[in-house]
Amino acid sequence: MQNEIMKLIDNLKEKLNHTNSLEDVENLRVEFLGKNGLLTKMMPLIKTLPNEEKPQFGKWINDAKEIMESMIYHAKNDILEKELEVKLNKEKIDVTIPGYQFRQGSIHPLSLIIESLEDFFLGQGYLVAEGPEVELDKYNFEMMNIAEGHPAREMHDSFYIDQNRLLRTHTSPVQARFMEKSNGKPIAIISPGKTYRRDPDDQTHSHQFMQCEGLVIGENIHVGHLKETLLSLAKYLFGEDKEIRLRPSYFPFTEPSFEVDVLFTKKDKSQTWIEILGSGMVHPEVLRMGGYNPEKVSGFAFGIGIERIAMLKYGVDDIRNFYTNDLRFLKQFKGE
């Protein structure tokens, strides 16, 4: 009896060796283990055996069933694996084919300067404030102490929208807007942004340009604070070895007013002072109009020309480069 069972197993093994489809394997399963399968059909024989042989026979049958089920399971798996291998071979990816070349953008040099100004001033506790580019005459001029008919308006010839609105000629109106909503509280802000003047474009002028305004108001703010702030800014932008000089100047919204120069060393080792920004102590009238009491608080302000800083820092000799979108120019600025 055992022999016959063994033969069945061998028989199945032999047949499985010659199958290569899941369907064939399934047919073999039915042939051997199905309801009328060869092994199943042997089971009733147990009844014909003497009692003492029955357990042994039952065990042979069960063992054989287990072995045959496992053989079928493995045969199916082998076939699935082979099919997968064939599929994978067919769909092989050639990793040596070069990928698409995506052109990588770069950060605009003016944005780089603004970002580094923000880094510098945010680190010192300043806030970044914003104001509209279409500005009211009231903020652009009046509240900056440039009343109608003031000669300083001549230098700020602008693009007027109507009688009261114009494209802002500087970022200074953000000072007035911020004072107005601060209700007499201390202020430390910078405000970078676009500005416009009706200048003909040339190597150093652009009808659209950028500034970064600065304003600090509090008790006992004096010129020393202004100078220290701008000295550390000059070192931050242009190198630790830099020195600055405050030159008396005139702005309607500051008193006293200064132009700030930085001492640069030229290639031939000679030194030269180059103007980088305008600044001063906030004019008492400007404080008063912004809702501050000039008897109690004081402040300093400055206005930085972003293009000027970028030209000095990156050695750019024509301001129009910043606005003409020439990729050969822009590609050179990758950021820090």
**What is the per-residue DSSP string for 81-107?**
HHHHHHHHHHT---TTS----PPPP--
Site string for ligand DAH, 201-230 (x = CB under 6 A): ------------x-----------------
* Residue 254 found at the interface with ligand DAH (CB under 6 A): yes
Q: CB of 265: closest distance to ligand DAH in angstroms?
A: 26
Q: CB of 176: closest distance to ligand DAH in angstroms?
A: 11
Q: Is the Cβ of residue 109 or residue 214 nearer to ligand DAH in the bound state?
A: 214
Kindly tell me which residue out of 170, 177, 283, 308 binds ligand DAH, with binding defined by CB under 6 A. 170
Q: Is the Cβ of residue 29 or residue 170 nearer to ligand DAH in the bound state?
A: 170
Q: What DSSP state is assigned to residue 197?
A: -
Kindly tell me which residue out of 140, 145, 158, 172 binds ligand DAH, with binding defined by CB under 6 A. 172
Q: What are the strands, taking DSSP E only, across the chain?
A: 127-128, 134-136, 165-167, 187-196, 208-218, 244-251, 254-265, 271-282, 298-305
Q: Is the Cβ of residue 32 or residue 196 nearer to ligand DAH in the bound state?
A: 196
Return phi, psi of residue 204, to 5°.
-120, 0
Q: Is the Cβ of residue 15 or residue 207 nearer to ligand DAH in the bound state?
A: 207
Q: Is the Cβ of residue 145 or residue 254 nearer to ligand DAH in the bound state?
A: 254
**What is the per-residue DSSP string for 1-35?**
-HHHHHHHHHHHHHHHHT--SHHHHHHHHHHHHST
- What is the Cα–Cα distance from 34 to 285, expressed in whole angstroms? 104
Answer whether 197's CB lies under 8 Å from 207's CB.
yes
Q: Is the Cβ of residue 193 or residue 278 nearer to ligand DAH in the bound state?
A: 278
Q: CB of 279: closest distance to ligand DAH in angstroms?
A: 5
Considering only residues 274 to 333 of the shown chain, the ones binding ligand DAH according to CB under 6 A are: 278-280, 301-303
Q: CB of 335: closest distance to ligand DAH in angstroms?
A: 27
Q: CB of 164: closest distance to ligand DAH in angstroms?
A: 20
Q: Which two tokens stand for residue 263?
A: 């001492």
Q: What DSSP state is assigned to residue 44?
A: G
Q: Is the Cβ of residue 64 or residue 282 nearer to ligand DAH in the bound state?
A: 282
Q: CB of 326: closest distance to ligand DAH in angstroms?
A: 27
Tell me how many degrees the CA angle 76-79-81 measures, rounded to the nearest 5.
Answer: 110
Neighbouring CB atoms inside 10 A of 278's CB total 22
# of chain residues touching ligand DAH (CB under 6 A): 11
Q: CB of 151: closest distance to ligand DAH in angstroms?
A: 14
Buried b (16+ CB within 10 A) or exposed e, 180-212: eebeeeebbbbbbbebbbeeeeeeeebebbbbb
Return phi, psi of residue 300, to 5°.
-125, 160
Residues of this chain that interact with ligand DAH (CB under 6 A) are: 170, 172, 213, 251, 254, 278-280, 301-303
